[in-house]
Amino acid sequence: KTFMPQIVTDPAYVHRAYCDCPGFLDNRGAEINIANAISINRVLRQASGVKAVFLAEYSDCVKSRATWIRTMGSMCLQMFGSLDKLSKYQDAVLLGITKAPLYEGGEPITRDIVRSLVTRANIPIAQILADRVFLYDPLDRGRDNPDFWSIERCRAEIAQLSSIPQCEATTLFQTVLTSEDQTKLKQIMRVQVSALVASLERDDYQAAESYWQSLTQLEIIDSDEVEQMLREYALEPLRNFVLRRVMAYQKNALVYNFDEAERQLEVLRNLLGRFPHEQLEYSIEGLEAVLQSSREKRRIEEESIRENLEKARQEVARIEREKADKMVKEAIKDILDIVNKRSKGSKSSKGRKDSGCCTIS
């Protein structure tokens, strides 16, 4: 099952499992290549260690001659990355030759015969693979030939192989996407991103989350090109949408439109709860702090206004009291002036009456 690999545990070795991985040089199309890349990396991340068993048909060894081993060598280099790495991990590798005849020219087929076919190419990688060769017939017709392994011996030999640690295997087995694969991947991502953005604009965050998860599954391919495409096509539009939402929320919070700010904060809680905070560069706690700070600022301002109003009221009352006191004092002064004038006028009239009498002597 190479399109969606199935991991099968070996009943005789409970810590061993087999996975029939996709073959190299698959020509079923870019979508299949992308799916294969995802599947291989997912399998690698689930394994504590990895052993590689290549299979090839005997007829290819004979008919294709040196071309076959060069093709097999290219596959190994594509998988391991370099001849040095293949050499380093060769004890974790086997090359099984299947569909081999039991006899050829009246002589039994042996491992040495196959090794000579492999080394015919006279290239360094051929010697490594020749040393890892075994013969296998699924129907176990070669049980009388010691160079043909039975199914039990295959499992036992695989169990005894060295294991490439998972931490090394995930970086060792790099996925290579062709330019056609990358072009198709861009098309797929653009369609998904368009659906993601449309879901965001209509506030359907559950659907947007589903599209986002589909896109981020591509990260398992562990390719610089894929990471770049994810940032460019998916993450940036998502960040821009969240930024617009955050700016609208902050604007309402800063102008003390708290009811609308609370509504928008709840929308942001729902939105950010479905997407990675560290990539969107916002946190619910930080956004809540904006509203809390704005409320505190409003409270301080209102308290300051109340204090200023009270001071103004007291000042007005003081001025009014001073005016009233002044008016009272002026009124009293006017009254006193009137009284004084009247008193002086009375005295003056009495004086004039006395001076009017005369004495004749």
What does the pLDDT average to over 129-154?
88
Q: Name the phi and psi angles at 133, rounded to 5.
A: -75, 145
| CA atoms lying within 13 Å on the CB side of residue 100 | 30
Indicate the Cα dihedral angle 182, 188, 194, 199, nearest 10°: -130
- Which residue shows structure tokens 């590689």? 52
Residues above pLDDT 90, as percent of the chain: 20
Residue 222's pLDDT band (cuts 50, 70, 90): low
Minimal CA–CA distance to 319: which of 80, 160, 327, 117? 327
What is the predicted pLDDT for the residue at 1?
53
Name the nearest CA neighbour of 267 among 199, 211, 205.
Answer: 205
**Residues 6 or more apart from 346 whose CB is under 8 A from it?**
none
pLDDT at 69 > cutoff 80: no
> What is the Cα Rg of the chain in Å?
47
pLDDT of 184: 84
pLDDT above 70 (res 253) = yes
Please report the pLDDT score of residue 358 as a whole number. Answer: 47
| 112 phi/psi in degrees, rounded to 5 | -65, -40
Segment among 39-53, 195-209, 240-254 with least mean pLDDT: 39-53
Q: Is residue 81 packed enough to be buried (19+ CB in 10 Å), middle (13-18) or exposed (0-12)? A: middle
